[in-house]
Amino acid sequence: MAKASRFMIITFIFTLLLNSTHQYHPLDPLTPSELYQIKTIVKGSNLSPGHNLTFHYVGLDEPDKPTILSWLSDKTRENLSRRAFVIARANQETHEIVLDLSTNSIILDQVYGGNGYPLLNFEEQIAANKLATTYAPFIASIDKRGLKVEEVVCGSFTIGWYGEEERTNRVVRVMCYYLDGTVNLYMRPIEGITVTVDLDTMEIVRYHDRLVIPVPKAEGTDYRESEQKPPFVPYAKGITVVQPEGPSFGIDGNTIRWANWMFHLGFDMRVGAVISLASIYDLDKDEYRQVLYRGFVSELFVPYMDLTEEWYYRTFFDAGEYGFGLCASPLEPLRDCPANAVFMDGYFTGQDGTPGMIPNVFCIFERHAGDVIWRHTEAMIPGKVVREVRPEVSLVVRMVSTAGNYDYILDWEFKQTGTIKVMVGLTGLLEVRGSVYTHTDQIHEEVYGTLLAENTLGAYHDHFLSYHLDLDVDGDANSFIKSTLQTTRVSNNRSPRKSYWTVASDTAQTEADARIQLGSKPTELLVVNPNKKTTVGNPVGYRLIPGSVVGSILTDDDYAEIRGSFAKHHVWVTPYNKSEKWAGGLYADQSRGDDNLEAWSLRNREIENKDIVVWYTLGFHHVPYQEDFPLMPTISSGFELRPANFFEHNPVLKIKPPIDVKWPNCSTPVMI
């Protein structure tokens, strides 16, 4: 036996022994040693020999929710069995596999026979892209355009579904771009060429070169600091955040404690950051109270509005097709995150089952940006002015996912008031189409976008993020209440006023009652625990406070809308079901809308006083403007989960301000 093989076996046995004694939180993501163990088990099964086995998703198969809640209340907290869920392809079939890591065995292996395909992995996309650049007809098309093939870079695009009854092979379309003087390849598309690649056979099955369009110029597209020439925009003087005594939060494995918050942070290769078991300490009750059992971005739907042959199918599901976690970027200290940030790594599985690591996939930091948590100046007391101010400090968990051309900055911000603020920032590069036009005066047809620069059209498109929010407000039996603010005329001359508004509240009985499109009327959205009341009789609850109200405006019969139908409504509420995680369906690539959030919700199950999940759609309609070229400044939106009669009174009344940091040779500013 070779030394390397003996070493691998010894290492594997050692990791198994280590895992058997290590104290796991049952929601901890799979470790590198567990991912190696999974690879070994699956590769040793009857799936592997001669079947070209490929891995597409490996994640924790977490215990059922009652088991987790029971474990939390058990002071002994013995390790629960660790299970993994694997989606793999073998012999051009999709296998769903469940493994028990404690017994080193496969307990379920079933072939999926429905519509749709699993996540693309990086390796097959790279192979498909390489096929294009070595294909003789493609090279001839590049020569015809007077371009250099060594400067061509290609990307794999999923194709969607457009009403075909027959199942389509697992294919992608490869579109290419031109460098030659810039790294901003997305601003230099090579239009008119479509290369279709079968991912299972890894061969080109269709090639079409239909027209020649000028490639936009490289000049003015490079965004690297080293390539910028004077003059420069005036810049700020040095600024930093310093915590001489270190951070105020503690990290124990994946559990984070800060101020009055405690929660679990995990990484998933499909969705990235997963916030679990978020609880807040109630000073009056002297206990931690449940708020959020689980929260994550369930799906990200990005349909483009360009109807040309090379564009109409660009209706991407960035989580379900490409992996929002897989696309996560290592965060740069002092650029992506402030100086006081602490970083965590994330782990995923490659095509052959080998674990990979994304260093610095999360950063956690305290934000102290001059905001005020509460204040008041009282000047009505004779001879006295009372002024009290408390500065706000919050805790932020950040991840950035680079899904092709776009960078998504995702923040979960925990505030001492009990609020969880969720923010999404969009930046990066637009998808642009090459064009013959150099000025808007030349355009006399529908071009589905904005002319941003010479020969460069920025396509209209949307971004819809569906958040899975399993709220357990002071327990898992909750109800959803929609309260509408209604204008009422004053009758019977009972007041000099002519009108006022009042609140009309409805408790949703079934899923149909809780499908909500916001924007037409002022609305309050609450999740309450009807079994818990404050001392004055109000049910304890949390409010969902939307940000900008943006929803899909595609027609219901559009195939993109059928697949991404969760974007029809801003809010959905379903009863808790462990298997209902992904708003676009488990198999999003070429999905048909038959296994998604809308399909589940059509069962119209009861949701009053049940364990419920709220799904919130955060949206952006993006009409590109010239300021988005050649790189887009960040645009942000978000929402809040805010206490609503959860506490008996203001929970931060007794909060103390952070200790002042004394700097040498500094004096207190003069008050003017």
**Of the residues 61, 198, 318, 628, which is catalytic?**
318
Judged by DSSP in three states, 523 sits in: strand
Q: Is 557 a catalytic residue?
A: no
DSSP structural state of residue 552:
-
- β-pairing, 342-349 vs 355-367, is antiparallel
Instruction: Say how far apart CA 243 and CA 248 lie, in whole Å.
Output: 9
Instruction: Say how far apart CA 52 and CA 33 lie, in whole Å.
Output: 23
Instruction: Say how far apart CA 296 and CA 412 lie, in whole Å.
Output: 10
Q: Are 104 and 135 in contact (CB under 8 A)?
A: no
- Measuring CA to CA, which residue among 222, 157, 194 is closest to residue 310? 194
Instruction: Say how far apart CA 140 and CA 149 lie, in whole Å.
Output: 9
- Helix 3-21 with 32-43: angle, nearest 10 deg: 120
**Of the residues 322, 406, 542, 616, which is catalytic?**
406
Instruction: Say how far apart CA 424 and CA 433 lie, in whole Å.
Output: 26
- Measuring CA to CA, which residue among 277, 247, 251, 281 is closest to residue 264? 277
- Measuring CA to CA, which residue among 305, 269, 612, 600 is closest to residue 473? 612
Instruction: Say how far apart CA 355 and CA 35 lie, in whole Å.
Output: 6
Rg (CA), the chain: 27
Q: Are 294 and 471 in contact (CB under 8 A)?
A: no
Instruction: Say how far apart CA 340 and CA 364 lie, in whole Å.
Output: 9
Q: Which residue has the tokens 């600091």?
A: 225
Instruction: Say how far apart CA 55 and CA 89 lie, in whole Å.
Output: 7
Both structure tokens of 239:
């600024």
Q: Which residue has the tokens 């994946």?
A: 254
Q: Are 367 and 395 in contact (CB under 8 A)?
A: yes
Q: Are 365 and 342 in contact (CB under 8 A)?
A: yes
Burial class (CB in 10 A: 0-12, 13-18, 19+), 374: middle
Q: Which residue has the tokens 């592997």?
A: 48
For 84, 94, 277, 369, the CA distances from 46, given in Å and listed in that order, are: 18, 14, 38, 57
| Residues pairing with 504 in the sheet | 484
One-letter identity of residue 600:
W
Main-chain phi, psi angles of 203, to 5 degrees: -145, 155
DSSP H or E segment with residue 559:
helix 559-563
Q: Count CB atoms within 10 A of the CB of residue 432.
A: 28
Q: What is the DSSP string of 247-308?
A: -S-EEETTEEEETTEEEEEEEETTTEEEEEEEEEEETTTTEEEEEEEEEEEEEEEEEB---S
Instruction: Say how far apart CA 595 and CA 593 lie, in whole Å.
Output: 6
Burial class (CB in 10 A: 0-12, 13-18, 19+), 418: buried
DSSP structural state of residue 83:
E
Q: Is 117 a catalytic residue?
A: no
Catalytic residue IDs = 318, 406
